[in-house]
Amino acid sequence: MAFRWTNDLTRADVTPERLFLNRRQILGGLAAGGIAGGLGLRAEAQEALEPNTWEEITSYNNYYEFGTGKDDPARYADSLVTSPWSVTIDGLVDRPGDYGFAQIMEAMTVEERIYRFRCVEAWSMVVPWNGFELADLLEMAGVQTGARYVAFQTANRPDQMPGLARPVLDWPYVEGLRLDEALHPLTLMATGIYDRPIPNQNGAPLRLVVPWKYGFKSIKSIVRITLTEDEPPTSWNKANAREYGFYSNVNPEVDHPRWSQATERRIGGGLFARRQPTLMFNGYDEVAGLYEGMDLTENF
Ligand SMILES: Nc1nc2c(c(=O)[nH]1)N[C@H]1C(S)=C(S)[C@@H](COP(=O)(O)O)O[C@H]1N2
Ligand SMILES: [Mo]
């Protein structure tokens, strides 16, 4: 008689997918918060931080220097030459100059930061960045008293960036932060994703990541950082000041003039996934103190 395999497990025995996906976090929670915290609320609270896949993070991008389609950067950004690379740090600093990428990496401590990422277009991801705190880089250059803002600029290379042929934005792409925002420990200079060098379409070799602000503040492929006394111009604000403010903090209560910001579509969630609620400061409540006393409807 031939051996006949029988399935001794039923669907009821399958580990609930949610718990399976979060087993690392649950174990982490057990260590940090005890049994109750580990198995209950903690697993629920950390569920949202399960990172997107490498494929999702590197194939659905905004990087208009390579075109405005979501798949244009993945297709065309290979042409960007990222080595050698240097960042000019100037303005109100003690040690202005060109800092080579290797020189920067030697001086900085790279760590992993798993951050929520919320685009102003109302989609979101969770990205496991590798990077160092912008504050450490600024300290290397020596911020002078009188500096109140930090201006950033992306590479401007028409021969390597086909999107620059079209006047979609006033090139080069520029961004800015108030100095206290720039010095906040959450503010990252990302150099990697999933422990691999950051791909060109995500802003190689180094880009800003400000997780409590809309994605367009997180400027890519930075070649210049300037400490200034006055608020610097920013690309999307220049393009449409009514729709894009200087602050651009994630705020579910302040809608974009053309769409709601109350909810977001999580990339990779599937076609029929429910939109999830957008969190104030994208869930990073620790930055609230930076905006105390400010009207965030006016300073959007
Ligand atoms: N230089 C430059 N930086 C940029 C952009 C851009 O077009 N050019 N797009 C911004 C926008 S709108 C978003 S949402 C994020 C997207 O980052 P990602 O492609 O790594 O997800 O990059 C931001 N940084
Ligand atoms: Mo964006």
Atom 12 (ligand 1) nearest CA? 216
65 Cβ inside 6 Å of ligand 1? yes
Confidence of residue 205 (pLDDT cuts 50, 70, 90): very high
pLDDT tens, position by position, 146-191: 999 999 999 999 999 999 999 999 999 999 999 999 999 999 999 9
Domains of the chain, each with CATH number or no CATH: 83-289 (3.90.420.10)
Is 42 within any annotated ligand binding site? no
Q: Which ligand is nearest to the CA of 72?
A: 1
Q: Which amino acid is at 237?
A: N
Q: What is the pTM of this model?
A: 0.87
Atom 7 (ligand 1) nearest CA? 63
pLDDT tens, position by position, 4-35: 545 555 544 444 444 444 444 434 433 444 44
Q: Which ligand is nearest to the CA of 217?
A: 1
State in Å: Cα 85 to ligand 2 middle.
25
